[in-house]
Structure 1
Amino acid sequence: MKATFKIHYETQFGQQLAVVGSIAALGKGVDEEALEMNYLGGGTWIAEVDLSKTRAKSFSYNYILFDKSNGIKYKEAGTPRVVELNKKFKNIILQDAWNPYHEVSNAYDTAAFDVIFNTNAPKVKAPKGSTKNATYCFEVNVPRINSDYVAKVVGSTDELGNWDIEKALPMAYDSDRNVWTVTTPIQKSHHKLKYKYVLVNTADKKAAPELEGGFDHVYDIIENDPKTFVKFSDHRFAYDRHNWKGMGVALPVFSLRTDNGLGVGEFLDIKELVDWSTETGMRLVQILPVNDTMATYTWVDSYPYASVSVYALHPLYINLEAIGELKDKKKMTKLKKLKKTLNALDTVDYEAVMNAKMDYLREIWSEKKASFLKSAKVKAFIKEQGEWLLPYAAFCYFRDKYKTPDFTKFEDFAVYDAKKVAKLFDTKSKIKDDVNFYVFVQYHLHAQLLEASEYAQSKGVVLKGDIPIGIYRFSADAWTAPHLYNMNGQAGAPPDDFAVNGQNWGFPTYDWDTMKEDNYAWWTSRMTHLSQYFQTFRIDHILGFFRIWEIPIDSVQGLLGQFRPAIPLHLSEFENRGVQFDFDRFCTPYIREHFLGEYFGYDTDWVKNEFLEQKWDGAYNFKAKFDSQVKIQEYFNGIKPKDDEDKARLEAIRDGLYSLHNEVLLIPALGYTDGMHYAPRVTMDKSRTFAELSPAQKHHFHELYIDYFFKRQETLWAAQAMEKLPAIKEATNMLICGEDLGMVPDCVPGVMTELEILSLEIQRMPKDPTIAFGHPGNYPYESVASPSSHDMSTVRGWWTEDRGDTQRFYNEILGNWGEAPMECEPWIAEQVLQQHLYADSMWCIFPLQDMLAIDAEIRREDPEDERINVPAIKHHYWRYRMHLSCKELIEQKNFNNKLKGLITASGRNTKF
């Protein structure tokens, strides 16, 4: 038996096509052992392999392209092709089409579109044909198909209907490989076989069939040999219609308001938001991270991006009644009264909600613990999730015992020991009930989020999650695997319009070199876990996979950070430009008498005496006990203000001292200790120390600054992302969107396109630094279009922030004449909505607040009450709630019909 591989691929000089597969003749899955193909000209490649010694009943394979000029190899997308071996055939001809890795329509093969198109629904029996004569197999991927439709093949032979679609040959759906397939005989000999695939509606006979666009598929038949089996793997149905586009709503789970919740949105409340989404023609619900953030048991834990476990879910979102009622009727009555009080609040009272929920959970645990671990479902859950679940439960026990998440204070358990932790759960353990309490809570959270996710899928609505870029410094993750993180650094983001001093998240950065050793198993595990609940997700700060902004451990603000990895500036680069390097002038805080008064006013003398020491006349250094921002922070934390006025005064002085620490031009480069390598301070041109350089020095520093931040790093950063992101992407079949906002390197769009990761397009944060606003008409298809995010003010809130920006936006982007209204009127909000709906973006996702803005009767009176987060405030209270319940929103028929009409008219409510 012999197999012949044929494929059309236009290569360039130095490129070699090969076949890699599961059998020895194809390298047994090892790329370097793949079977090289021969080039016949005209883009045609061919290879033959002897299968006579192959004992396997089938084999799988795909193609790979080696670029010998640069050593890069390019793989195909999708699952490998599969060939069943039948001894009656002497020859197998495999006529294939290359599956591009960065093709737009690959997104349709993800879990998100399994939900939207319901691709697992079709169950069609294709005609088997005669076993003697069935020598032609047709196979095609048809991701964009509704459950009412089936795929058929029509062509130039009797068996294929002689181009009569009513006589086209039905195909069967193979759910294991997501392809439609049929095997048929072709009795008559033909010089050329021509065919196309067609989609036919089986539920509505009057519906027009959808025939493939483009040229016919053509195959040259040399002879019709019954001993030769021919298989056509045609990659993907060629649609003769526009790309599919959808609409979604974004809202944190805690912001949901229902009658069922306890003063906060809960996982089961997602079902009501899904119901409203289906009412209005939306196909996606996007939420913020839902991992456990309980570290301090205060409102500070409301920040959803500092989880104590990347696996565990937050008890904030649990529905208590779904677990069961307490036997104590008085306590149940008390809970119902509290529920009524908390549900009436405008915002989330995080501490009251958490106290009530944790008290109830402990009460019901005491009633159910005897039978809990005996359940078969519980045993299965622990077996499946135990690797993270048991360490997390132990961490929570110690966190509560020692009143801190700082695991270095866990005494005998300060250093994680898996064997010691396992003993805590033993039947003889004195604290087994205490640690299993957290297993109990996680089991029910898992069940409730899974229920909400499955409900959304049953309604054809995709659930989109959010993955924080970092981990909390004192988390179960850092406790169990500290070697995966750089605990002596802090992750953050450089300055932008919303945080002029940068952002310091306080998270440790990742040790990517260590993670690479096991092919990023930690990330693979994390993604796999999330895929239980979500079909698509947003990677928070995807730029961190290219390079992370790492801030010194003794900094409070983010200005003294630098990118890691990065190619630093060398001393010689200054000297080559005629700049004499002066460490004291360039690298230590530039503090001079003549501008201290501008910072501290009447408190200048006190500041000089308390915090500074004279270096020479008119110049100062910080005293040793105040030589970092953290030391200054600790000093002011120890002062109790007399009143609000004194508090404001002290904060202004503290922030002024922070600013003095930022008065440097260069920072010693991370990873270098030779005193020869430096990174420029970000936004140095806005500093006093830069302003007081000579004109020539300013010019040279500016040139080096531009080179460092915008030129020399591009190749390095692209390579970093291409190393990490494919492992994360390939871990699951979820659709990925990257939050690529802020200081975006030029290499980012190309890498995201290559990896089919959707970009995020926010109108007020355009990727092009030369323009003030993005226009949805210019967005790429592989993107998510949105007017704002949870880190920004709503459209209505932004409208009153800067009159000049508002006027420009009103005239230049919305195309209106005259003076802009003082407030964002409903008709303006509707213009913004419509503009986004007609974007080319695959998804248009609007925060709920920006949707409600189009209706004066139902939108909130004060837009400031709709803000979720203010990034410039390090400890912001995340507590926004809908002012309407989901049920009330569903009852707003006029608004819902209008919204559905706008969505449908834009083409964002089609079946496929």
Structure 2
Amino acid sequence: MNIQFHIDYQTYYGQDLVLNIITGHHNGAVEASQYRMRTSDGYHWEVEVKKDAKPGTHIEYYYSILCGDNEQRKEWGVLHHKLDFDTERSLTYRVYDHWSDIPDNAYLYTSAITDCVVGKKVAKCKLNNYNKAVTLKVRAPQLGATDELYLVGAEPALGAWNVKKALKMVQHNINEWSYTLDASKLVGDQIEVKFLIKNNDNNENIVWEYSDNRTLTLPTMEEGDVVVYELAEAAFPLPAVRVAGTLVPLFSLRSQTSFGIGDFGDLKKMIDWVSMTHQRALQILPINDTTITHTWTDSYPYSCISIFALHPQYADLTSLPELKDKEQREKFEKLRKELNALPQIDYERVNDAKTEYLRLLFEQEGEKVLESSAFKTFFAETESWLVPYAQYSYMRDKFGTADFSHWPDHKQWDEADRKALSNPKDKAYKEVAFFYYVQFVLSSQLKAVHEYAQAHKIILKGDIPIGVNRYGCDVWTEPRYFNLNGQAGAPPDDFSVNGQNWGFPTYNWDEMIKDGCQWWVRRFQNMAKYFDAYRIDHVLGFFRIWEIPIHSVHGLLGQFSPALGMSREEVEGYGLHWQEELFTEPFITDWVLDRIFREHAEEVKQKYVEHVWGDRYKMRPAFDTQRKVEKAFAGKTSDVDIWLRDGLYALISDVLFVRDHKDPNRFHPRISVQFDFIYETLYDSDKAIFNKLYNDYYYRRNNQFWYQEAMKKLPKLVNATRMLVCAEDLGMVPDCVAWVMNELRILSLEIQSMPKNPKVRFGYLSENPYRSVSTISTHDMATLRQWWDEDWERTQDYFNSMLHRGGPAPHPLPGWLARDIVSRHLTSPSLLCILGIQDWMSIDEELRLADPNAERINVPSNPKHYWRYRMHVSIEDLMKNKTFNEQITDLIYQAAR
């Protein structure tokens, strides 16, 4: 069969248009056969391909631009062109395509909308035996669940504009409809057509395209010819898709059958509640395995040891076979009730108990499960990451530490071990088989939850952390992707005046980009097995990460990486005389020591600093980094010790410029240095110069550079799946972030109390962009009720200026007023409005917790925070609370979500 491809695309000299016919996928990457196209004018391109294609089959393909052998550009990767071979007598196909860029309404092509909200299924085109045929294809993402697309035209064969004779099209691809005409019944070489929407064949409610009729000039056709036209997207009004949902950490769920922590079974029950209240989205926090120490410090869900492995604590034990040992059954049931009655999670007891239970069940059922076809399929799909993860977990437990540098052997994953670890008869396999079993159970349960959510038309939204644990399996397996001499974090913000130090290694992006960011692509594609939307945690990290030296505790001595550091000459070009020692070494004088340490200043002079000249000092070598100070004060918890320790931290970070981590001749103005002593010593004129330099550096200098950095990475990830992409874009946001997110159609995060416009104190909800997620608070913030009582002056301003109410603001926040705030958020233009379960409950004074502080999930300023918040009511009781549920349903109905 001959297939002739035609496309119009304007190129310039040196560029070639290439047809890429997809042949398969490998490690998450698309594999394709390439065909260079021909042109005579740089605009009209064509190529002929000979292919054995049987009727009833299809091919998928895309176009790209090459300059030499370098790919400069390619089409939108989420939805490829699809050509159906639906004509039995065809000898030649002539295909007329158009270039496909990411559309403004890309969200309508995501699985969140197509598979959850709308729920339409792709069908197969019927075979025909026309001697000559014309196939019309058109994308129409605007159709609802019960809508059908019809084709009608001027000719009798097209219905002669009679809607009752319109031709029903087939949705043969995601949001793309097709119909094949018998060309022998067409009169003349022109056809005039238009598309229309019918709902369940109801001829009364018809929506016509908002456009002129489409006119096509047909080429001369021979017997066996099929002409395929891919037309521009149907011109129907866009549907007002606006979805309400709930955010709750999975560990926070409570049901009558929980084992002291939320699990995948509880997630199904939560989907029932979300569906019952007419919400359409359920968002959770990361659920990857975080097991490093087997203590409560592993409760931090953003510090995963594997980007693929799920946390064993989320196994739903009730859906697994019972333990045959009656005594063990009774013991675990007694313990389950005890742990489930606790107001918060006892992370260590819960995990110890669940691990013990799973080991007993593995002894009982493991052999049968590992021999099943379902497990073998799972193993084949996941073997690339599952095998190293299982060996890592075994080694961690065997040697009592996750720090693989302390293991006597296997300090790094050895690919040669894979064969033995994959052979059920080998001793190595038997040692790690338990971890295979647990991950199989977890994956099977979460897939079932995902299917359950889709069946109930609920968008399940996951969370992709920006970092991984430096002692985790990912670093052990593929160390080339990480920089272990730095720590990822965030600069100072409303959450933490000293910045945040997450302790994660930073990424070696140069190495990642070499293979097309496959590590990230595989990660996103694995998420798509379980979710239809996801939140990119700290999307700013794809532009630049806040990299903190390994010897620092706080984040103040960090710098953006990558970033264009400043030379001495550039600094002096602003008018600031360069004084390297003064600007880059800690500024320590008698008056500084007196101000910080007061009556303990003399003790500090004697023990921690040494005199240099005049009234200047420097840190003693034993205390010249924050890590050394931290170690010296380990275990000292008195108020005086903490005061001394924090004061020494402050001394060490009191510099005007930070030396670049890679180039010692480049410098970065130290973040928030305007609050420190070195800045205080500057002349007013020098302060003004420094502030200009500082603002240029942080808000203008790197914009184009960071845009280019992000565009090397994010397009590959956004195009890797059909999940709806949402980003957490809070913090110190450069202008280029909005450019990239708009270009890639990524949803922003909008929080009224943290407006992106620096000129206002509170954001205007009516100005939220449609492509956004609106919320009141995140897991890192105070809940609505906490925020209301934190700062009464701020609350009063909000009460008067945003809620337009007079008089003093009531404290604590009454339910009726919380309902008003929730209602205003729901009526915003944002595509998604997802509220934390605590903020939903704030509207009901009888339901919500008496103490709002008990609702807090995380305190970012505390790196050792214990993540243990649990809902105080069971999901079963929540389902029975008719008053509360009707309030939510009413609010959603009134907001037209």
* Distance verdict in 2 for CA 1:293–1:87, change over 3 Å: closer
Equivalent residue for 2:495, pick from 486, 498, 502: 498
1:410-559 → structure 2 map (5 Å cutoff):
410-420=407-417, 422-423=419-420, 432-559=429-556
Q: Which residue of 2 aligns with 1:244?
A: 241
1:728-767 → structure 2 map (5 Å cutoff):
728-767=717-756
How many Å apart are 1:81 and its aligned residue? 4.1
1:706-745 → structure 2 map (5 Å cutoff):
706-745=695-734
Contact persistence 1:125–1:171 (CA under 8 A): no
Equivalent residue for 1:862, pick from 847, 851, 857: 851
- Please give the alpha-carbon distance, in whole angstroms, between the structure 2 residues aligned to 1:48 and 1:14: 17
* Distance verdict in 2 for CA 1:235–1:461, change over 3 Å: farther
Deviations 1:655-709 (CA, angstroms, capped at 9, x unpaired): 1111111100111112113xx2111111111211111111232122222211211
- Please give the alpha-carbon distance, in whole angstroms, between the structure 2 residues aligned to 1:688 and 1:533: 51
1:867-882 → structure 2 map (5 Å cutoff):
867-882=856-871
How many Å apart are 1:217 and its aligned residue? 2.4
Q: Which residue of 2 aligns with 1:100?
A: 101
Q: Which residue of 2 aligns with 1:699?
A: 688
Contact persistence 2:244–2:280 (CA under 8 A): yes
Q: Which residue of 2 aligns with 1:630?
A: 627
Higher alpha-carbon deviation: 294-303 or 891-900: 891-900
- Please give the alpha-carbon distance, in whole angstroms, between the structure 2 residues aligned to 1:566 and 1:869: 30
Q: Which residue of 1 aligns with 2:81?
A: 80
Is 1:829 the counterpart of 2:826? The answer is no
Contact persistence 1:96–1:235 (CA under 8 A): no
How many Å apart are 1:553 and its aligned residue? 0.2
Q: Which amino acid aligns with 2:615?
A: G
Equivalent residue for 2:790, pick from 801, 812, 815: 801
Contact persistence 1:20–1:35 (CA under 8 A): no
Runs of at least 5 residues in structure 2 that lack an aligned partner in the other structure: 24-30
Equivalent residue for 1:288, pick from 276, 282, 285: 285
- Please give the alpha-carbon distance, in whole angstroms, between the structure 1 residues aligned to 2:243 and 2:494: 30
Contact persistence 1:189–1:221 (CA under 8 A): no
Q: Which residue of 1 aligns with 2:28?
A: none
Q: Which residue of 2 aligns with 1:784?
A: 773
Equivalent residue for 2:560, pick from 558, 563, 566: 563
Contact persistence 2:61–2:80 (CA under 8 A): no
Deviations 1:726-761 (CA, angstroms, capped at 9, x unpaired): 222222222211111101110111111111221111
Q: Which residue of 2 aligns with 1:233?
A: 230
* Distance verdict in 2 for CA 1:466–1:682, change over 3 Å: same
- Please give the alpha-carbon distance, in whole angstroms, between the structure 1 residues aligned to 2:299 and 2:856: 14
How many Å apart are 1:536 and its aligned residue? 1.3
Q: Which amino acid aligns with 1:195?
A: V
Q: How many residues align?
A: 883
SS in structure 2 opposite 1:309?
coil
- Please give the alpha-carbon distance, in whole angstroms, between the structure 1 residues aligned to 2:221 and 2:425: 75
Q: Which residue of 2 aligns with 1:671?
A: 662
- Please give the alpha-carbon distance, in whole angstroms, between the structure 1 residues aligned to 2:708 and 2:6: 33
Higher alpha-carbon deviation: 497-506 or 724-733: 724-733
Q: Which residue of 2 aligns with 1:143?
A: 141
Equivalent residue for 1:654, pick from 645, 652, 662: 645
1:165-244 → structure 2 map (5 Å cutoff):
165-175=163-173, 179-185=176-182, 187-189=185-187, 193-202=191-200, 205=202, 208-220=205-217, 229-244=226-241
* Distance verdict in 2 for CA 1:14–1:856, change over 3 Å: farther
Runs of at least 5 residues in structure 1 that lack an aligned partner in the other structure: 40-44, 642-646
How many Å apart are 1:369 and its aligned residue? 3.7
* Distance verdict in 2 for CA 1:578–1:904, change over 3 Å: closer
Deviations 1:36-86 (CA, angstroms, capped at 9, x unpaired): 4748xxxxx6445566x7777787654557899x99536345212427497
Contact persistence 2:277–2:886 (CA under 8 A): yes
SS in structure 1 opposite 2:105?
helix
Q: Which amino acid aligns with 2:685?
A: A
Equivalent residue for 2:334, pick from 334, 337, 362: 337
Contact persistence 2:543–2:706 (CA under 8 A): yes
* Distance verdict in 2 for CA 1:885–1:33, change over 3 Å: same
* Distance verdict in 2 for CA 1:237–1:896, change over 3 Å: farther
Deviations 1:178-236 (CA, angstroms, capped at 9, x unpaired): 5221111363536863322222222x747623333333323246878878644331243
Contact persistence 2:281–2:459 (CA under 8 A): yes
Contact persistence 1:868–1:879 (CA under 8 A): yes
What root-mean-square deviation, in Å, do the aligned CA atoms of Structure 1 and Structure 2 show?
3.0
- Please give the alpha-carbon distance, in whole angstroms, between the structure 2 residues aligned to 1:321 and 1:505: 35
Q: Which residue of 2 aligns with 1:112?
A: 112
Q: Which amino acid aligns with 2:400?
A: K
Contact persistence 1:309–1:475 (CA under 8 A): yes
Q: Which residue of 1 aligns with 2:313?
A: 316
Q: Which residue of 1 aligns with 2:26?
A: none
* Distance verdict in 2 for CA 1:583–1:200, change over 3 Å: same
How many Å apart are 1:147 and its aligned residue? 4.3
Contact persistence 1:425–1:435 (CA under 8 A): no
Is 1:20 the counterpart of 2:10? The answer is no
- Please give the alpha-carbon distance, in whole angstroms, between the structure 2 residues aligned to 1:753 and 1:592: 49
- Please give the alpha-carbon distance, in whole angstroms, between the structure 2 residues aligned to 1:283 and 1:189: 49
The alignment's TM-score, normalised by the length of structure 2, stands at: 0.92
* Distance verdict in 2 for CA 1:585–1:6, change over 3 Å: closer
Contact persistence 2:752–2:776 (CA under 8 A): yes
Q: Which residue of 2 aligns with 1:42?
A: none
Q: Which residue of 2 aligns with 1:164?
A: 162
Q: Which residue of 2 aligns with 1:644?
A: none
Is 1:371 the counterpart of 2:368? The answer is yes
- Please give the alpha-carbon distance, in whole angstroms, between the structure 1 residues aligned to 2:410 and 2:11: 59
Deviations 1:113-138 (CA, angstroms, capped at 9, x unpaired): 23224555365876x776135x3212
How many Å apart are 1:860 and its aligned residue? 1.8
Q: Which residue of 1 aligns with 2:27?
A: none
How many Å apart are 1:599 and its aligned residue? 1.9
Contact persistence 1:66–1:72 (CA under 8 A): yes
* Distance verdict in 2 for CA 1:328–1:93, change over 3 Å: closer
Higher alpha-carbon deviation: 761-770 or 489-498: 761-770
Is 1:265 the counterpart of 2:262? The answer is yes
Q: Which residue of 2 aligns with 1:775?
A: 764
